[in-house]
Amino acid sequence: MPFLIPKRRAEPNSLFGEILDWMLATLLLLWPITIFITYQIATEIAHRPYDQALAERARFLMRFVLFADGKPSFTLPAPAQWILHAGTNATLYYEVRTPEARLAGNAQLPTPSWLADIDVRFQDIDYHGEPLRLATLVERKHHDGGQTLVAVQVAETVKQRQALVTEVITGVMMPQFIVIPIAVVLVWFGLTKGLAPLRRLQAHLTRRRPTDLSPIDLERVPEEIRPLIEAFNRLMARLEENLAAQRRFIADAAHQMRTPITGLKMQAELAREAETPEELRADLEKIIAAAERTAPLINQLLTLARTESSSEQVHRFQPTDLVALLREVVADLYPKAHRKRIALALEEGQTPCTIDANALMLGELFKNVIDNAITYTPPGGDVTIRVWQEGATIHVAVDDTGPGIPPEARARVFEPFVRLLDSERLGEGSGLGLAIAREIAEQHQATITITEPPFGRGTRVRVTFPCGSLQ
């Protein structure tokens, strides 16, 4: 029965086949158990009438044990000798004895225990290689000389009993050879009917349009697969949300790209109509400046698209030294801060801070946050990065002395392409930096918040990593 041990297969298993295999395996496992139980019950049933007959014979023979002058004797009258005939398929043995002498018998049976019992005791013995069923009756006989223990033992061969057991088992098991194939057919038919809702669901999903992400109606769904359909509906809802977010992102990206591309086109048209080399050179420099402003926008769009992809498949996490990572980011952004005469500093804690992270993505997070702080901090200001551990969490705070962000706008600035009036007036940034930072933080199960720095004016952007990220 190869299906008794399910094998692991690389290809998807058939639900119908799996259920059928387990049901048939259970059926075929229970079958020998039922045979064993039936044999035990049949043996008990066969013993009962034959044991009662042996007991009656032993009691009958006990009546013919007599005492004369205190001496026991056993004489079986001729009319009573029919009791010694067990039938055509059995042989009967008997023996009558006292502790001192053997009174009668046609066989040398095992010595009894000589305990006066209330009733007959039965046991299975082997007599010259032949199995026998032995009944022993021990009684205390009272006579003129006192009392004497007398034992009457009657044994018979078990051929008749075994024949009865075989007959009972045959009568019980033969119908099962007919019932089991019928049961298999009924199980197959029942499974076919029971799995019909799955086939209807498959047909329903096949008929759906590719763009139809609406939830499946749960009204006619069986209880057993309702949790699966509910999970499927939740998956469809999340997929619809992701597609809607992608559509909004594409629309916003197209809107953001339209302005610089339009500017590039106008500058190119002016350069084409330039009359002097000086005018042509000036127009070309404007085109180069516009392209340089557009390049960061395109890079950030690509970064945001990469961070919104599946972190399980694209991003690999490994132990990362957070302080060393921040040193590299600060070193990369130091030239920009130096040009604006901004004091850029990193305050490291005493405790090593190692977390499970994707170093490339995490570096992009802090690069965007610190770059934003440098961009919107006026010349001569300060940007300070602080790292510290508090219990089971690690905090990274980026403090600047810029104009700050109003409390009512702090949640909104994490949305793509959102720029405040001050940033629009400065003409820098694309409104994607903090959106990218939030996406990367969520992938690392971290939180990113905006508050005021401890010293008052400016902005504090704090990233908190939970205990699950620590190494």
pLDDT in tens, 426-437: 445 556 778 878
Per-residue pLDDT tens digits for 31-80: 888 888 888 887 888 788 888 888 998 998 998 999 888 888 988 888 77
Say which residues have a Cβ less than 8 Å from residue 204's Cβ, sequence separation at least 6.
216
For domain 315-469, is the CATH number 3.30.565.10? Answer: yes
- Which architecture characterizes domain 223-306 according to CATH? Orthogonal Bundle (1.10)
Task: Locate the domains of the chain by residue range.
Answer: 1-194, 223-306, 315-469
Q: What pTM does this model have?
A: 0.45
Question: Cβ(354)–Cβ(320) under 8 Å?
Answer: yes
Per-residue pLDDT tens digits for 298-350: 666 666 565 555 444 445 788 888 899 999 999 989 998 999 999 999 998 77
Check residue 386 and give its pLDDT.
92
Check residue 314 and give its pLDDT.
47
Check residue 149 and give its pLDDT.
92
Q: Which residue would you say has higher pLDDT here, 318 or 145?
A: 318
Task: Please give the span between the terminal C-alpha atoms of the chain, in angstroms, as a whole number.
Answer: 50
Question: Cβ(346)–Cβ(385) under 8 Å?
Answer: yes
Check residue 26 and give its pLDDT.
82
Give 95's pLDDT tier (boundaries 50, 70, 90).
Answer: very high
- Nearest CA-CA partner of 448 in 460, 431, 432: 460
Task: Please report, for residues 4, 138, 191, the alpha-carbon distance to residue 150 in angstroms, rounded to integers and kept in the order given.
Answer: 58, 6, 68
Range of weakest confidence among 221-230, 280-289, 424-433, 462-471:
424-433
Give 438's pLDDT tier (boundaries 50, 70, 90).
Answer: confident
Answer whether residue 86 shows pLDDT above 70.
no
